[in-house]
Amino acid sequence: MNVLTFLPLGLMATLSVVLGLARLPVHPVWTARLLATTGAMTAVAALGTGVFVAVNYGASLAPGAAAHLPEWALFGDDRPVPGAVGIPVTALTLAGLLAVVRAGARWTRELRAAGDDARRPLETPLPIAVAVPGRRGGVLVSRGLLRDLTSEELRVVFEHEGSHLRHRHHRYLAAGTVAATLLPFLRPLEARLRLAVERWADEDAAEAVGDRALVARTIARVALAHRPAAGPAAGFADSGVVQRVEALLGTPPAKNTVTGPLLLLGNGFVTSSLTAATLQLDHAVASVLLPLLAMW
CA 268 to chain centre: 14
Higher pLDDT among residues 152 and 224, named by residue: 152
User: Please, which pLDDT band fits residue 77 given cuts at 50, 70 and 90?
Assistant: low
Question: Which amino acid appears at position 119 of this protein?
Answer: R
pLDDT of residue 286: 44
Name the average pLDDT for the chain. 85
pLDDT of residue 43: 94
Cβ atoms of 27 and 197 within 8 Å: the answer is no
- 131 half-sphere exposure, CB direction, 13 A CA radius: 26
Mean pLDDT throughout 58-83?
A: 72
User: Please, which pLDDT band fits residue 290 given cuts at 50, 70 and 90?
Assistant: very low
Whether the pLDDT of residue 289 is over 50: the answer is no
**How far are the Cα atoms of 42, 267, 287 from residue 36, in angstroms, in the given order?**
10, 11, 32
List the one residue out of 185, 193, 187, 194 whose CA is nearest residue 10: 185
Cβ atoms of 71 and 52 within 8 Å: the answer is no
List the one residue out of 108, 134, 142, 109 whose CA is nearest residue 237: 142
Mean pLDDT throughout 242-257?
A: 93
Distant-in-sequence, close-in-space partners of 228: CB < 8 Å, separation ≥ 6:
235, 237, 238, 239
Whether the pLDDT of residue 34 is over 80: the answer is yes
Angle at CA of residue 245, ends 239 and 247, nearest 5°: 100
User: Please, which pLDDT band fits residue 203 given cuts at 50, 70 and 90?
Assistant: very high
Cβ atoms of 131 and 197 within 8 Å: the answer is no
